Structures are given as C-alpha cells and as structure tokens.
Amino acid sequence: MRHARSGKKLGRDSAHRKALYSNLAGALIEHGRIKTTVTKAKAVKPIAEQMITLGRRGDLHARRQATAFLRSRDVVHKLFTDVAPLFKDRPGGYTRIVKIGPRQGDAAEMAYLELVNEEYVTAQRDERTPEPVAVAEPVEAEDAAEEPEPEAELAEPVADDSAGGADESADDGDGSTADDEIQ
C-alpha cells in the first residue's frame, strides 16, 4: 500500500514543485548553504543527497541523470569535480538542517540547509567502541563464586532443623518454617 506517500506538495503543481526542488538542490550544490523554510529544506534534503551520491559514482550515466534533474551543466560540473570528492568516504548524511527561527514577515519557520563540512573519520568511531577487558570477566566470576557460599551456609542449618524433627509443627513440609511465614 502506498497511503500517504505523496510527499510535500508545498502549494504547487507537480511541474512547479519539480522546478523548485531542482533550483534549491542546484543552489545548495553551488553555494554550499541555502536559507529556506524548514518544510522546503526537509523536502529537498533527500534529493540533494541523491545528487551527491550520483556525483560520488562519477560515471557517465550518473552525470546524465544529474544533468536531467539539475538542468545546469555548470552545477553538475561543480557537483562532480568539487562537491562529490569531499564526501568520498562518507556513507550518506551529506547535508544538515539548522533551524534559525521565524521569518520576520510571515513568521514562517526558517532554516539553513547546508553541506556537512566535517570530514568523516572512521578511526574515531573505532576508538570509541570499548574493547572487552579480560580483567573484568574473572572479577565477575570471583563474585559469583563468593555468592553461593553464604547461601550454602544458610541452607545447611535449615536442613538440619527439619531433619532433626525437633519442631514438626513449625515445619510445613515445603522447607519453610513458621518464622518465615510470619515475616
């Protein structure tokens, strides 16, 4: 089912909407950051990231697909030569939306849609993951070994009392005593 999958219409017909997306994506690639409404930024972000992915592929078919959507050879050239090489190691997430507050005239929520500047570093992510420490496992094993000993000591006197038969009225037959039931 494809219920509610149409996307944002933005008060435009399909041709106007396609032109808007093309112009916003081209401006983002050309300038690196654009100021627009939050709704338009959210609608254009996946399209811009798809264009950057085409730029990362770099083959002739990808260049023709980008030209068909962006309709500007200069923007496509900049995409393939300048922008895409910046993201060659990044597996997605090329853009970000930074909200900047309401617009003065009509209080529309505004945002910057910008390309991510930081380099993607895989080494930092590898360093953050904790490595298993061999010392921690034996400590847990020692704690586990110490815990059964007190339970064994407690279990022995209860077993001796029930086995001796000194107070059969206190024993219910299930191992508990009358003192246990009171508490």
Q: What is the mean pLDDT of the chain?
A: 80
Domain boundaries, the chain: 14-118
Q: Which fold would CATH assign to domain 14-118?
A: 50s Ribosomal Protein L17; Chain: A, (3.90.1030)
SS3 37: strand
The confidence band for 48, taking pLDDT boundaries of 50, 70 and 90, is: very high
Token pair for residue 85?
């090489």
SS3 160: helix
The confidence band for 124, taking pLDDT boundaries of 50, 70 and 90, is: low
Residue type, 132: P
What pLDDT digit, counting tens, does each position of 130-168 carry?
665 555 455 554 555 555 555 555 555 555 555 555 555
How far is CA 39 from each of CA 5, 23, 31, 158, rounded to the nearest angstrom? 16, 15, 20, 71
Q: What is the pTM of this model?
A: 0.64
* Average pLDDT, integer, range 20-31: 96
* DSSP annotation string for 68-106: HHH--HHHHHHIIIIIHHHTTT--S--EEEEEEEE-TTT
